Structure 1
Amino acid sequence: MDTMTIREALHRASSFLREYGREERVGELLLEFYTGLEGPALHLEGDRPLSSEEQHSFMEAVRTHALTGKPYQHITGEAHFYGRHFTVTPDVLIPRQETEELMDLVRSCAGTGERIADIGTGSGVLAVTLALETEAEVSATDISPAALEIARQNSERLRAEVRFFEGSFLTPLEGEHVDILVSNPPYISWREKEELDTTVRDYDPELALFAEEDGLAAYAAMCRELKERLQKPRLAAFEIGHTQGEAVARLLGEALPGYRLHVHKDLNGKDRFVTACH
């Protein structure tokens, strides 16, 4: 194989990905990973020849993604969230950009010494980032032991103080004081499965994607548990599917009567978060 420059490799990858209906941007993200050059630095070094190892690894990764739909995050073993690198595996949901907006929302409300609980933490991106970006004490729960192991690894590597608990929703935190509850639970209805992109449907864990009751089962379960808790959080913040705002707000309103309810839109103008604030 002839040696390619960074610019030539990007051009070839873009053409190949476009041919298979994949996002061309993935080529750039993969080349950043294999060269260690991020953002503008990659383009500034456009005339630099790739080493044989860089070139082989990059082209194989592009081919794998194009032909199978395997997410580039599973190929590299990492995902970006809020300016940091997180380890991800097929046992955890790959973090979405919209969830950074949920992070912004909760961060702006968190006070020093308050206790935040991230329910269904997955890879731990929210819990770890909140521990690093606020002065709050952070706990996280998940029903999946494999997901919790990844979350712990991310917490240790990024030196974030997070307490992790295995179990369903709020159950592991029974008797624990919680000021802010945050969750990005599974919210896709099973009937929508075939409509998903193969990069999501075939690779993200079903446990983190799908829920019964038209995608509302996780919210209903958490709201039942909230209703039963003697000590209520002052703020609950959920990420939602874009059609679920009214239904999730109703569930929260029943669980936390007297709270101010608000459905927030994401940067694309779609309903994406629901908050209940006291």
Structure 2
Amino acid sequence: MKQYEVLKWASLFLEKHHREATVGEILLQHYLNVSRSMFFANMQETIPAVLVDKFKKWIILHAETGVPIQHIIGVESFYGREFLVNKHVLIPRPETEELIEHILQTTDEKVQTIVDVGTGSGIIAITLALELPNAEMYATDISAQALETARQNAEKLNANVTFLEGDFLQPIRLQGIEPDMIVSNPPYIALSDEPALSDTVKNYDPHLALFAEENGLAAYKEIIHSIPTGVKNVVFEIGYEQGQAVQTLIKNKYPAADVTVIKDINGHDRIVSAQI
């Protein structure tokens, strides 16, 4: 089969199963191991039958079960870099790049200590370590498997991050680390919202990184309650209906804090940023 024929088959099959047709492009480009421009330039090229069979097998599996394409290829791009992903970590979302942009735009280059709470695959901590080379970067997670993935990503991308296992800020306090900034994309989906999630999310993303008690606010409450003395900035990624609630949680502890709710590119509340 020619490349365009394989891609047409995948698109029709995916659409029939109510999946994103672009999944076919992503997976086929991965198997062909070519640049995006070369991929589209080679549409008339013939693909070996063994590769077509392998490609079709994974497309069928994704269509019928919802297994994320990122789990099939083992990687996902974030802020221009490729990160390893698996069943132990959340797949990076484009909205989190906006969290990175906000921090880079509002943080100067002086030496400071930053802690990423609930790091998962390490995308936030590693990206900040690479974009802010003067920062001393720490990252925590309660999942040993997630931390192993984050360490592999840091090594792969040559990022200097210290990873600590433990619940939220607990390992930071135990080590006596005095951060200037806390950043976190914690679990924030209410358990009652699980039925509305796609099978790709609820069946394959780790529940520990998705769901939180107290209508999705429990992790924010725990982190805010545990913020060490001396922290100057706190930056959270939030669910689109949580801006006011998280802002109030911060103001309750720090009445004088300057707290801002920032919308993402789609116009939804996405970031809460506080100067304490």
Residue of structure 2 equivalent to 1:79: 76
Please show how residues 240-259 of structure 1 align to structure 2 within 5 Å.
240-259=238-257
Partner of residue 156, structure 2: 157
Aligned letter for 2:47?
A: L
Structure 1 unaligned residues grouped into runs of 5+: none
Please report how far the alpha carbon of residue 101 of structure 1 lies from its aligned counterpart in structure 2 after TM superposition.
0.7
The letter of the residue matching 2:171 is P
User: Which residue is 2:167 aligned to?
Assistant: 168
Q: How does 1:82-231 map to 2 (within 5 A)?
A: 82-110=79-107, 111-135=109-133, 136-174=135-173, 175-226=176-227, 229-231=228-230
Are residues 41 and 245 of structure 1, via their aligned partners in 2, closer, same or farther at CA, if it must alter by over 3 Å?
same
Structure 2: which amino acid aligns with 1:240?
I
Taking structure 2 as the reference length, what is the TM-score of the superposition?
A: 0.95
Bigger CA drift: 209-218 or 22-31?
22-31
SS at match of 1:46: coil
Task: Kindly indicate whether the alpha-carbon contact (under 8 Å) linking 1:140 and 1:165 is maintained by their aligned counterparts in 2.
Answer: yes
Amino acid at match of 1:247: A
| 1:264 is aligned to 2:262 | yes
Deviates more, 1:263-272 or 1:253-262: 253-262
| Matched residue, 2:3 | 6
Amino acid at match of 1:254: N
Alpha-carbon distance between aligned partners in 1 of 2:252 and 2:145, rounded to the nearest angstrom? 33
Count of matched residue positions in the alignment of Structure 1 and Structure 2: 272
Q: In 2, Cα distance between the equivalents of 1:161 and 1:218?
A: 26
**Amino acid paired to 1:248:** V
What's the CA shift string for 1:18-46, capped at 9, x where partnerless? 00000111111111211112333211111
Displacement of 1:112 in angstroms is 3.1
* Per-residue deviation, 1:51: 2.5
One-letter amino acid matched to 1:256: Y
CA distance in 1, matches of 2:178, 2:269: 29
SS of residue paired to 1:108 = helix
Preserved CA contact (<8 Å) 1:118 1:126? yes
Residues 169-178 or 213-222, more deviating: 169-178
What are the superposed Cα offsets for residues 111-156 of structure 1, whole Å, 9 maximum, x if unpaired? 3321111000000011111111112121100000010000001101
Give me the whole-angstrom Cα distance separating, in 2, the residues matched to 1:263 and 1:236: 12
Per-residue CA distance 1:214-269 (angstroms, 9 max, x = gap): 0000000011112xx222x2211101110000000011112333121110111111
Q: Aligned with 1:213: secondary structure? A: helix
Identify the residue that residue 18 of structure 2 maps to in structure 1: 21
Given that 1:71 and 1:199 are in contact with CA atoms closer than 8 Å, whether structure 2 keeps it comes out as yes
Structure 2: where are the runs of 5+ without partners?
none
Aligned-partner SS, 2:256: coil
Secondary structure of the equivalent of 1:10? Answer: helix
Runs of 4+ displaced beyond 3 Å: none
Q: Is residue 39 of structure 2 the alignment partner of residue 60 of structure 1?
A: no
CA deviation string 1:132-187 (max 9, x = no partner) = 11121211000000100000011011111000000111111112121121100000
Q: 1:53 to 1:257 in 2, by over 3 A?
A: farther
- Aligned 8 A contact 1:261 1:274 in 2: yes
RMSD of aligned residue pairs (Cα, Å): 1.2
**Aligned partners of 1:139 and 1:269: how far apart in 2?**
31
Deviation at 1:103, TM superposition (A): 1.1
Q: What residue number does 2:47 align with?
A: 50
Q: Which amino acid aligns with 2:67?
A: K
Q: 1:90, 1:256 → 2: CA distance?
A: 37
Q: Percent identity among equivalent residues?
A: 46
Conservation of the 8 A alpha-carbon contact between 1:34 and 1:57: no
Measure the CA separation in 2 of the matches of 1:50 and 1:29. 16
Asked if the contact 1:256–1:276 (Cα under 8 Å) also holds between the matched residues in 2, the reply is no
Following TM superposition, by how much is the alpha carbon of 1:11 offset from its aligned partner in structure 2, in angstroms? 1.0
